[in-house]
Amino acid sequence: MKAAVFYGPNDIRLEDVKTPEITENEILVKVDMAAVCGTDVRIYQGKKTKGVRTPSIIGHELVGTVAKIGRNIKDFEMGDRVGVAPVIPCGHCYYCQNDMENVCANRTAIGYEYDGGFAEYVRIPKTALQSKNILKIPDHITFEEAVIAEPLACCINGIKKASVKMDDVVVIIGGGPIGLLHVQLAKISGAKTVILSELIEHRREKAKIAGADIVVNPEEESLSDIVLDSTDQLGADIVIMAIGVPQLTNGSLGLLKKGGVLNLFAGFTKGVLSEIDPNIIHYDEITLNGTSSLKRSYFREALSLIDSGKINTEIITTTGFTLDTIQEAIESVRNGIGMKSIIHIKQQ
């Protein structure tokens, strides 16, 4: 089969590799579509290494069709259209036992410890099937829509961590695919006003389509002044950082009203630190929290939201890439030229 094999920073190669063999307790999925995540870009750049093997096949946002079934598998049939919730919890550690499976102490994941979706086929291990990480996709949801379920599930986790509620003013830093998913989820959650800050013009235009009430170019306008003018000089209830730029953290704290919440959603490069003013947190009673990955239940919730038509997936994606153009797809995300690059896997 064809696969994009990751060898190290800035080194990914399209190769002919052996199609995975499965055991009686596994399934083989023909990958119909995969998406490039910002985390994939960080892996490609060498900025994220935990759980990443070299050489290996990365890519954790994927959907496909069941192509082979182990003899002990009862829940799937040949031809089933499936989505993959990539994070596999152990089910017995402290975190799994306390409703925090997304930060499981023994977690493994498709695209990390197991080969991922930048290939024609992917083996779904026994642990993923036992944990119900593979979900059937409703027939009327397209693969282009369904491939967004994984990042959407992560954003559902973020919205819940940020505790967005009715009548809130929410500021989202970064208008990439993740930022635009947060815009839509904030509106679904009842936010009164959603303000999005983004440097790139085409992303600001898409943010308006996504439902942002105010879009800001922070190079030309004062985001702080706009937030204050929109909140009777109080500040925002919630700020979500959907871009991993540490230098923006302290400024984001300053956008909040007293009692507000700053959610650090995006991943940051290990070892790159951010200076913050603790007095803002102390005197304004700010809550600062983070978001890591997703829970399996959020993946189901994501599919349901897509199924209901409440999520516009089209504005999130840039289509037309193949395994032959995988590097171009990664660079498109890296440079912000497009949105989320969708890899159409064409079988040889």
The pLDDT value recorded for residue 200 is 97
Report the C-alpha gap between 171 and 203 in whole angstroms.
Answer: 15
Domain 2-148+313-344 has CATH 3.90.180.10: yes
Q: Where are the domains of the chain?
A: 2-148+313-344, 155-290
pLDDT by residue, tens only, the chain of 348 residues: 999 999 999 999 999 999 999 999 999 999 999 999 999 999 999 998 888 999 999 999 999 999 999 999 999 999 999 999 999 999 999 999 999 999 999 999 999 999 999 999 999 999 999 999 999 999 999 999 999 999 999 999 999 999 999 999 999 999 999 999 999 999 999 999 999 999 999 999 999 999 999 999 999 999 999 999 999 999 999 999 999 999 999 999 999 999 999 999 999 988 889 999 999 999 999 999 999 999 999 999 999 999 999 999 999 999 999 999 999 999 999 999 999 999 999 776
Q: Is 281 exposed, middle or buried (0-12, 13-18, 19+ CB in 10 A)?
A: middle
- Give the pLDDT confidence score for residue 346 in this predicted structure: 79
The Cα–Cα gap between 48 and 190 comes to: 35
**Residue found by looking up tokens 């079934």 in the block:** 69
- Residue showing tokens 């995540």: 37
Angle 149-162/177-188 helices, nearest 10 degrees? Answer: 60
Per CATH, the homologous superfamily of domain 155-290 is: NAD(P)-binding Rossmann-like Domain (3.40.50.720)
- From CA 110, how far away is CA 294, in angstroms rounded? 13
Q: What is the pTM of this model?
A: 0.96
Q: What is the largest CA-CA distance in the chain?
A: 64
Phi, psi for 305 (deg, rounded to 5): -65, -40
d(CA 115, CA 130) in angstroms, rounded, equals: 18
Instruction: Give the ranges where the chain is alpha helix by DSSP (H).
Output: 38-45, 126-130, 143-146, 149-162, 177-188, 201-210, 223-229, 249-253, 278-283, 296-308, 326-335
pLDDT at 348: 60
pLDDT confidence of residue 279: 97
Instruction: State the pLDDT at residue 49.
Output: 87
Tokens encoding 33:
């579509």
Single out the residue of 56, 29, 28 nearest to residue 40, CA to CA. Answer: 56
Judging by DSSP bridges, how do beta strands 108-109 and 87-88 pair with one another?
A: antiparallel
Burial of 88 (0-12, 13-18, 19+ CB in 10 A): buried
Closest CA to 173 of 251, 237, 273, 271: 251
Residue whose C-alpha is closest to residue 183's, from 256, 250, 265: 265
